[in-house]
Structure 1
Amino acid sequence: MKTNSPRPTAHAPRPRPMRYIFLAFSFWLLAFSSAHAQEIRANVTVVAGQVTGVDKKVFTTLQNAIKEFLNNRRWTNDSYTVGERIECNFMLNVQQDLGSNAYKAALTIQATRPVFNSGYVTSLLNTQDNNVAFRYVEFQPLEFSDNRVVANDPMVSNLTATLAYYVYIILGLDYDSFSPRGGDDFFKKALNIVSNAPDGKDIAGWKAFEGNRNRYWLQDNLLNAKFSRFHDVMYQYHRQGLDVMYDDMNKGRAAVMNSLNMLYAIQQDIPNSMLLQTFFTAKSDELLKIFSKAPPQDKSRAAQMLAQMDITNANKYQQMK
């Protein structure tokens, strides 16, 4: 089991064991038997319905290789039990054969976090990356090093660099939700990948000028001092909000409302940021449920702020009033 100080500092391990108190004792017996499990439990799906003229067994092999890469690699220096692993879904939709064993794909990434004292899980990340170009030869090992992000072939490296990038983003968000600024070290690892990312003709998503919604900008927002309050939001929303709702619904909802106030302040300073869009993509349905039974004044205030911050779902929020 992961060891922790009683009051974690910004860089101390977060209190992960608290996450799973609600699980059955028999499950804990199994978990303790594997005290050094990896951090990620990823369900991986590779689909290639749009690709023709390629032996589909290649994509089955690729699916198994990605699953092994994500689940069997140690991503942190912390010790996890089996029950503490972070639940994720990675779906790689291969859309185009670029020739010479190279492909263009879209990657959908989802990650969840259990809520204390309940069977409920909350979404930490739910995003799609439409610019994943890579080369894969069947049975080719997937390798990655933080010290050498790009190996001999940038197109080969781009797949593992992209996967590792999102693992570090997930870890950072997860750790942020358990201790103040707990995810900083992982966001810096994501920055290292962006700074040393593969470069090539079909590779995109790592540079600022390639768009305002890509890997560069998500990592930039997470480390930019202008968004420092976002990390307070992650901690307050989850540890002081969702995690206390079982014992005190009003107290937990008040913490979530305060989180919305902080997000609203960020929105006023930096409109239309990728970071807030990413947050609301993961949380919009949950926020509707949290405030559906709130007092009328709180419900109205939440709907007003949410409609301004999350324009995509503005109509849903307005109906909440």
Structure 2
Amino acid sequence: MQYTPQLKVLTCFVLFLLLNSGLMAQELRVNVTVNANQITGTDKKVFTTLQKSLMEFLNGRRWGDDVYTPAERIECNFLLNITGDLGSNAYKATLTVQATRPVYNAGYVSSLLNMQDNNVVFRYVEFQPLEFSDNRVSGNDPVASNLTAILAYYSYIILGLDADSFSPRGGDDFFKKALNIVNNAPDGKDVSGWKPFEGNRNRYWLQDNLLNVKFARFHDVMYQYHRQGLDVMYDDMNKGRGAILNCLNMLYAIYQDIPNSMLMAVFFTSKSDELQKIFSKAPPQEKSRAVQLLSQMDVTNAVKYQQMK
């Protein structure tokens, strides 16, 4: 075959597309597990198909405009534990969401999010397409749309937290997309978790806290904790730990103004084990201050922190 200028241009164009297909990779790398052990009388093949569809839904979409290489995709785990059959192909479930962030120059990943949502109700018919649009969150059937709305909501929360950890206020646009889902969420008899009066630990309150000016310092904490704390520890352990101690002081200022907030609870659920390890080998004065702050802000894990003394 003669290698004409036209063929050369075509070859370059194909290479460009191939290269950009890698550069424009989706943001998330999600492992999805659907557990339906509590459900009887239903063909379990339905849930196998659902698991595959959820994997494709979460991993096959681009959730924003930022460019991610395949190596930069955020590692996540979504566990959908189906707890009840409501009839008419509707189910109730819990959803556990976990996401991590790599630490610079280390083979270590830090937990960004580790929480369980107990208010999941959805309708699924085998092989039905999983659809979601930011412009039409509720869809035609609120119960059917609820699952994809919840998955999209947590995808945006994860992307926002990850972006916050790399640049100051980097996650704002993603948190606003989560707010859009809350404002336009499916509304039905069995659907819950989207409204403020449905509890003080739900999807509404998490996005409210993330966008509330009262928690503005939390975003500074996310950036400093990861970029000025964890990411410098390989080169300077004392400097990195000092930055994280400063973050605890900043969190304590938030705690004094707004104790028992959902955002603080979510943060410490993700970070408590890590914080214990970071300060367990700190100098006595730093360790004592960390134990004092952590025990007050995170009562659930106070015993864990007290063991560092």
Q: Answer yes or no: same fold by TM over 0.5.
A: yes
CA distance in 1, matches of 2:156, 2:31: 17
Residue aligning to 1:298: 286
CA positional deviation for 1:81: 1.0
CA positional deviation for 1:33: 7.4
Matching of residue 119 in structure 1 with residue 107 in structure 2: yes
| 1:117-266 matches, cutoff 5 A | 117-266=105-254
2:275 to 261, 278, 287: 287
- CA deviations 1:255-311 (Å, max 9, x no partner) are 000000000010000000000000000000000000011000000000010000000
- Are the counterparts in 2 of residues 32 and 81 from structure 1 also a CA contact under 8 Å? no
CA positional deviation for 1:158: 0.2
CA positional deviation for 1:139: 0.2
Q: What amino acid is aligned across from residue 187 of structure 1 in structure 2?
A: F
Matching of residue 101 in structure 1 with residue 89 in structure 2: yes
Output the TM-score relative to the length of structure 1: 0.90
CA positional deviation for 1:78: 1.5
Residue aligning to 1:319: 307
- CA deviations 1:126-175 (Å, max 9, x no partner) are 00000000000000010100011011100110000000000000000000
- Are the counterparts in 2 of residues 124 and 170 from structure 1 also a CA contact under 8 Å? yes
Q: Which has the higher helix share?
A: 2
User: Unaligned stretches of 5+ in structure 1?
Assistant: 1-30
> Runs (4+) of structure 1 moved beyond 3 Å?
none
User: Unaligned stretches of 5+ in structure 2?
Assistant: 1-18
The RMSD of aligned alpha carbons is 1.2
Q: Which has the higher contact order (CA 8 A, sep 6+)?
A: 1
CA positional deviation for 1:32: 8.5
Q: What amino acid is aligned across from residue 143 of structure 2 in structure 1?
A: M
Residue aligning to 1:3: none
- Are the counterparts in 2 of residues 206 and 214 from structure 1 also a CA contact under 8 Å? yes
CA distance in 1, matches of 2:47, 2:154: 21
SS in 2 for 1:285: helix
SS in 1 for 2:201: coil
Residue aligning to 2:26: 38
Percent identity (aligned): 79
CA distance in 2, matches of 1:40, 1:93: 21
SS in 2 for 1:119: coil
Residue aligning to 1:307: 295
CA positional deviation for 1:249: 0.3
Residue aligning to 2:260: 272
Q: What amino acid is aligned across from residue 306 of structure 1 in structure 2?
A: L
CA positional deviation for 1:36: 1.7
- CA deviations 1:80-103 (Å, max 9, x no partner) are 111010000000000000000000
Output the TM-score relative to the length of structure 2: 0.93
Flag the 1:320–1:32 CA change in 2: closer, same or farther, 3 A: farther
CA positional deviation for 1:198: 0.3
CA distance in 2, matches of 1:317, 1:238: 21
Q: What amino acid is aligned across from residue 199 of structure 2 in structure 1?
A: G
CA distance in 2, matches of 1:227, 1:260: 14
